[in-house]
């Protein structure tokens, strides 16, 4: 064990205690953040960043770890959001945290169902199944007023606002801590999972599914587990997005663009790494701000919003290509290289074999 520890931290001369100290410092910073940042930053940047990170973690389990491509992240988020709405509306006795978990389970069941085709098809063929989920739920939640309680603008918002066990979470601080607690807990669970036998099964399927089957990895079960767990997390992320960040949401909040965004987060951040989801989400959240600022400086506020959006699109496209070509392991790898720590023990490379 000591040898492993040495190798993990070797080369830069850090001791374990330094790592612990850093951890404590980060935790303290994260907890006290609401008192350091402005309300605007909490509401408009930090909360959505955390939720996007969580969605990235969810999709990464499926796509980055288990190697199952999905363009339906938005659909599973949507299911989570609408399920939370239904629970809070029709079962108000159920406290919000339990409603979130129950919604996650609903989304997980939906993911399980739409994961079934993965037992027959591989690779990018699978986008058919996840796109089917995307279009089906956009249709479903718009078609039947039951899902949005007949609201004239077909949007959903929590009837009683955000309350958990009598605590009011509607303030920016309340939203932040609700989001933080959910995101931290689910990240911890995901981290444990990817290091467990289930996580090894997922990566084995990703790296070489035929060999995995032959050495006794239960392919079918592992794939469906990946779909269910990924959708569980995406579902809760969707509920947080709708009610913790937006306040009120509609089908459009979880359209195909959202699915692309979550996929971009993990490509840019790093496939098959937990922290890559955070890095990717930070990047995706901050890039538009940076571009806005840049154009303000360059054009003195004359930039046309539509043009800006198109430029942003082109830049995202270029970045995706750049990362795929030059750094398939994303920002997570880039950062590790910067810090001089080359150990790749916990953040393996996503290499998808080309069939010959």
Partner 1 sequence: MNMFLETLIGGLLAGTMYSLVAIGFVLIYKASGVFNYAQGSMLLFAALTFVSLTDQGVPVLVALVITIVVLALMAVGIERLILRPLVNRGPMTLFMATLGLAYIVEGTAQGLMGSQVKALDLGIEDLPIFLGDIMISQFDLTAAAVALILVVALSLLFNKTRLGVALRGVADDTSAALSIGIDINRIWQIVWTIAGLVGLVAGLLWGARQGVQFSLSLVVLKALPVLIIGGFTSITGAIIGGLVVGAAESLGETYIGPFLGGGITPWFAYALALAFLFIRPAGLFGEQKIERV
Partner 2 sequence: MTTPSPPALEVRNISLAFKGVKAISDLSFEVAPREICALIGPNGAGKSSLLNILNGVYVPNSGEIIFEGEHFHRMQPLEAARRGIGRGFQNNALFSGMSVADNVIAGLSRHARATLLEEALLLPRARAETRRFRERAHEVLGLFNLEHHAETIVATLPYGVQKKVELARAIVAAPRLLLLDEPLAGMNAAEKQEIADIIATLNRELKLTIVLIEHDIGIVLKLAHHVVVLDYGRKLADGAPDGIRDNPEVIAAYLGGDKVEIAA
| Contact footprint for partner 1 (CB under 8 A) | 67, 69, 117, 120-121, 123-125, 127-129, 131-132, 135-136, 138-139, 143-144, 210-211, 214, 260, 263, 267, 306-307, 310-314, 316-321, 324-325, 328, 351-356
Q: Out of partner 1, partner 2, none, which partner does residue 136 contact, by CB within 5 to 8 A per kind?
A: partner 1
CB of 228 to partner 2, least distance (A): 9
Structure tokens given for 245: 């960040």
CB of 222 to partner 1, least distance (A): 18
Nearer to partner 1, 206 or 275 (CB): 206
Distance CA 226, CA 325 (A): 27
The 8-class DSSP code of residue 35 comes to: G
* Residues 6+ away with beta carbon under 8 Å from 209: 67, 122, 219
Quickly list H helices, 146-303. Answer: 172-194, 197-207, 209-214, 219-239, 256-269, 274-299
* Residues 6+ away with beta carbon under 8 Å from 234: 55, 58, 59, 73, 76, 77, 80, 107, 111, 262
Are the beta carbons of 70 and 59 closer than 8 angstroms?
Answer: yes
Q: Out of partner 1, partner 2, none, which partner does residue 267 contact, by CB within 5 to 8 A per kind?
A: partner 1
Binding site for partner 2 (CB under 8 A): 4, 7, 189-190, 192-193, 196-201, 203-204, 206-208, 210-219, 225, 229, 272, 343-345, 348-351
Q: Out of partner 1, partner 2, none, which partner does residue 225 contact, by CB within 5 to 8 A per kind?
A: partner 2
The 8-class DSSP code of residue 196 comes to: S
CB of 306 to partner 2, least distance (A): 41
CB of 140 to partner 1, least distance (A): 9
Taking the alpha carbons of 308, 81, 279, 114 in that order, is the dihedral positive or negative?
A: negative
Nearer to partner 1, 7 or 349 (CB): 349
């Amino acid at each position: 064990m000591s040898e492993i520890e040495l190798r993990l931290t070797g080369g830069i001369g850090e001791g374990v205690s330094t790592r612990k100290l850093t951890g404590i410092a980060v935790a303290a910073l994260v907890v006290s953040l609401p008192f350091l940042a402005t309300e605007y930053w909490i509401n408009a940047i930090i909360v959505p960043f955390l939720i996007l990170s969580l969605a990235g973690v969810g999709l990464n389990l499926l796509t980055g770890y288990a190697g199952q491509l999905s363009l339906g992240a938005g659909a599973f988020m949507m299911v989570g959001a609408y399920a939370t709405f239904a629970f809070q509306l029709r079962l108000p006795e159920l406290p919000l945290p339990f409603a979130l978990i129950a919604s996650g389970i609903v989304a997980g069941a939906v993911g399980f169902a739409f994961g079934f085709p993965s037992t027959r098809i591989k690779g990018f063929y699978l986008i058919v199944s996840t796109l089917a989920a995307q279009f089906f739920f956009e249709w479903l939640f718009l078609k039947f007023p039951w899902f949005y309680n007949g609201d004239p603008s077909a949007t959903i918002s929590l009837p009683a606002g955000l309350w958990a066990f009598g605590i009011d979470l509607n303030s920016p601080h309340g939203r932040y801590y609700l989001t933080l607690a959910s995101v931290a807990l689910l990240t911890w669970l995901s981290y444990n999972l990817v290091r467990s036998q289930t996580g090894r099964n997922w990566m084995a399927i990703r790296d070489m599914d035929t060999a995995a089957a032959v050495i006794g990895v239960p392919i079918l079960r592992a794939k469906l587990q990946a779909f269910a767990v990924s959708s569980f997390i995406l579902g809760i992320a969707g509920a947080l997005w709708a009610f913790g960040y937006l306040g009120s949401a509609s089908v459009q909040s979880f359209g195909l663009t959202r699915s692309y965004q979550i996929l971009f987060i993990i490509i840019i951040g790093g496939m098959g790494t937990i922290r890559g989801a955070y890095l990717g989400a930070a990047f995706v959240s901050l890039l538009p701000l940076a571009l806005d600022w840049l154009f303000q400086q360059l054009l003195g506020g004359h930039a046309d919003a539509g043009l800006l959006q198109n430029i942003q699109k082109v830049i995202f496209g270029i970045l995706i290509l750049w990362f795929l070509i030059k750094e398939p392991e994303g920002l997570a790898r880039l950062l590790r290289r910067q810090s001089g720590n080359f150990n790749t023990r916990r953040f393996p490379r996503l290499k998808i074999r080309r069939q010959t």
